[in-house]
Chains A and B, each alone.
Chain A
């Protein structure tokens, strides 16, 4: 079993992706602060805050934006435990691993010498590592809030409202649907393979198996695209796409938009070094 762990790991990846999508759909249906706003305001507002995070050079300002994101998450009924599991801990781990060597590799004023002076931790290195971690944590939290609180179809409608080409929006919508179909198909293929597997295979055999599974999935994908094309044609598709957009800005949407933009602008203003 241990030597066939690649199959199990693939199944876990596929299941996790499907699980994440289900959680997003569930959170997006709840009644909360972000969910009550027009999707265009959510997209513009949270994108403005992400921009403010990467434009600000002061850790204190970025931490303030992080706190604001936590408050918005609570008011939007997003569980902090799920945010911690999905964003904060993985980002802290991965960005922390990347940022750690910066403590000693960044030239500057030594503040600590844990290895007896050969590789001193510098003040500049400490600031660089903290700034990177704070910035990535805050930006990814804000992006995740947008994803969790906005159903995919509303994201697409907002993109269309921002004049993203129709063909692109249609491809995004179709791809989103096919991802779940293909992920489920791939999961079933790996599951059936695992259920028929007795003993262990060598590396070359497992590589061939994976490549063959990918090949069969590719054939099924192409077959699916042919069927979809025929069904689109049978319904009269000639290349013109119309996306329904029933968005209407209300007073609370304008207030929300102004609040996001003001918060972002103030953060950039104060956060300049």
Chain B
């Protein structure tokens, strides 16, 4: 998944350096606010552990082997901020000392694997393991799933970065200047290997390491468990029915996204019917939807800023903007929660 120099255009590299810089800044600030002196050796050792873990050849079902990134276990033990820094340090040493990966693509590699990988792994682990006790088997499932999802999220981003190159950077005769395959080729080519091998390897190693820590050193799983030290799941009323969260999440994901105008077009009505077990859509949009649809107009409708002529570049910019916004909101929420926690503790 490491992108070498030469595959991405300078402007893509610059944009991803900027995205990575946001993550690095946020991670450093968070570490400085907590226990900076304690975290420096811990992050360094975890970066080294992640580096060495990448050299482990894990036998996979089917006779092949794969290797893990270590981003999931770093997110579970250190939290997302520590993981972002640890995995970025490991990737930087690979590029600057061992020549694996590139210098111009260092920002892209850190953005994909360290930042997005850490945030996705952490979020998946926390959601799936919500309320489970430290020694619960659900935490193994959570770690395995987090590893699988995080690796594939990072690979998907890399595939999109490859895939937009020929759309944006061609010479006058149509020769692609950087990675030559469009999204239709780049995404399947990249994802098949990661869905089948790399994601599985990261998931198996993450679940195996959590199982080991549950038996040998459960304290390391405490800080990101969401449980107060010594608490059990039964003490936390909001976690009593984790299945409900799943049903709500599935319900939100399963249905489509319609606008008021979808009800008046034949194509829109057909899509609504197809997503609603072939029940015909109402002849007019519901009044509530009509009233609320004019309440907010998106500044970037259909992921294409009106000032840009290129739709693909608009998608790319929207993606960068969206990810940046999510990271900033996550950091703001973390800072707010930490502030509240600090204010609530007796002095």
Chain A positions within 8 Å of B, measured between CB atoms, are 6-7, 9-10, 13-14, 17, 20-21, 24, 47, 50-51, 53-55, 57, 86-87, 91, 95, 99, 101-102, 105-108, 123-125, 127-129, 131-132, 135-136, 138-140, 143-144, 146-147, 152, 155, 165, 167-168, 170-172, 174-179, 181-183, 186, 203, 206-208, 210-219, 221-222, 224-225, 228-229, 232-233, 237-239, 273
Contacts and interface: CB of A to CB of B under 8 A. Distances in A.
A101 B47 CA distance: 36
A234 to B, nearest CB: 12
A54 B217 contact: no
B102 to A, nearest CB: 7
A182 B48 contact: yes
Contacts of B196: none
B304 interface: no
Contact of A228 (B45, B53, B61): B45
A101 B95 CA distance: 27
Contact of A218 (B49, B92, B93, B179): B49
Given A102-B181, A132-B7, A218 B208 contact: no
18 contacts: A6-B65, A9-B65, A21-B98, A53-B6, A54-B5, A101-B185, A128-B175, A132-B179, A136-B5, A139-B102, A140-B5, A182-B45, A214-B208, A217-B53, A218-B213, A221-B45, A222-B217, A225-B45
B44 interface: yes
Contacts of B267: none
B58 interface: yes
B204 A54 contact: no
Interface in B1-34: 4-10, 13, 24, 28, 31-32
B205 A54 contact: no
A208 B208 contact: yes
Contacts of A24: 97
Interface string B83-99: 00100011011011111
Interface stretch (B166-174, B222-230, B272-280): B166-174
Contacts, number: 255
Contact of A108 (B46, B97, B173, B211): B173
A179 to B, nearest CB: 5
B55 A172 contact: no
A273 B220 CA distance: 55
A185 to B, nearest CB: 8
Highest count of chain A CB atoms <10 Å: which of B42, B59, B209? B59
A125 B47 CA distance: 40
Q: Give the residue among A123, A125, A182 with the most B Cβ atoms within 10 A.
A: A182
Nearest to B55: A13
Given A6-B57, A6-B65, A167-B31, 13 more contacts: A21-B97, A51-B104, A54-B104, A57-B171, A124-B173, A143-B102, A144-B99, A176-B97, A211-B207, A215-B208, A221-B46, A225-B44, A273-B171
A218 B209 contact: yes
Nearest to B204: A207
A170 B46 contact: no
B61 A182 contact: no
Contact of B45 (A131, A206, A222): A222
Interface in B174-205: 174-181, 185, 204-205
B51 interface: yes
Given A54-B9, A221-B48, A207 B104 contact: no
B246 interface: no
A140 B217 contact: no
A155 B96 contact: yes
Contact of B59 (A128, A183, A210): A210
- Max count, chain B CB within 10 A of own CB: residue among A51, A53, A215, A219: A215
B297 to A, nearest CB: 38
A87 B99 contact: yes
Report whether over half of chain B's contact residues are helix, strand or loop; otherwise say mixed.
helix
B52 interface: yes
A147 B47 CA distance: 20
B56 A210 contact: yes
B212 interface: yes
A171 B89 CA distance: 7
B37 A233 contact: yes
Given A218-B49, A222-B217, A233-B37, A176 B180 contact: no
B36 interface: yes
Given A132-B6, A139-B4, A215-B209, A178 B56 contact: no
B40 interface: yes
B52 A217 contact: yes
Contact of B93 (A102, A108, A175): A175
A171 to B, nearest CB: 5
Interface in B84-127: 85, 89-90, 92-93, 95-99, 102-104
B211 A178 contact: no
A203 B62 CA distance: 9
A222 B174 contact: no
Contacts of B65: 6, 9
A132 B180 CA distance: 8
Nearest to B65: A6
A30 B251 CA distance: 65
Contacts of B142: none
Contacts of A174: 40-41, 44-45
